[in-house]
Chains A and B, each alone.
Chain A
């Protein structure tokens, strides 16, 4: 099955700086890569996703890049703000797999220092 590794587990950045979270996946058949943001006690919320036919996708201050050859993808947050503080999860899935759900990384706790 798929295995997703996520780094770092904790990331502390100054407000206004950029943050980068990286994930690697194991199954080359994976073709869908979402990112979720989860605030304490809340549900995971989809913030951006990318498919394997695209190398980069942006939405305002957030962007995701995908390197299929290296089997890794990254979340980039620019001009970080206090409300960006949360746990971020990457995930991967592939169609027709034994379980068509998402395989998640273990999460990155992003702390924005004022």
Chain B
């Protein structure tokens, strides 16, 4: 298994509170991604990173921000959580110099916003 750790694995919080999810990798891979998975939608890309401090938006980035201050850590922040952000969040990593390489996923974080 790829060395990817997501934390926390489960979280329940209230609408309007800030939430930060962490993805930690031990593979020294350049590319890291955040996806959300919802019934009927499959997996959708939120943000991705192509290096330290280099990030960009994905398909469903509204309401989310990210940061990558170290190669191994990629943080996803919900500044003010809403019930529509209840989902399972997966981090993925891929190696190589270029993107468009196989991606491997972490075990996910189940987030419930009440």
Residues of A within 8 A of B (CB): 1, 6, 31-32, 34, 36, 42-46, 49, 89, 91, 93-96, 98-107
Contacts and interface: CB of A to CB of B under 8 A. Distances in A.
Tell me if A's interface is mostly helix, strand, loop or mixed.
loop
Contacts of B58: 99, 101
B102 A89 contact: no
B31 A100 contact: yes
B80 interface: no
Contact of B90 (A32, A34, A43, A49): A43
B50 A34 contact: no
A106 B42 contact: yes
A46 B100 contact: no
A94 B100 contact: yes
A99 B43 contact: no
B48 interface: yes
A1 B45 CA distance: 12
12 contacts: A44-B90, A46-B103, A49-B102, A93-B100, A95-B100, A100-B50, A100-B100, A101-B45, A101-B92, A101-B103, A102-B45, A106-B41
Contacts of A104: 42-44
A96 B99 CA distance: 8
A45 B103 CA distance: 9
A51 B91 CA distance: 23
A45 B4 CA distance: 13
- Counting from the closest, the 5 A-B pairs by CB-CB distance are A101-B45, A100-B99, A104-B42, A106-B42, A95-B100
Nearest to A106: B42
Contacts of B31: 100
A32 B100 contact: yes
A49 B90 CA distance: 20
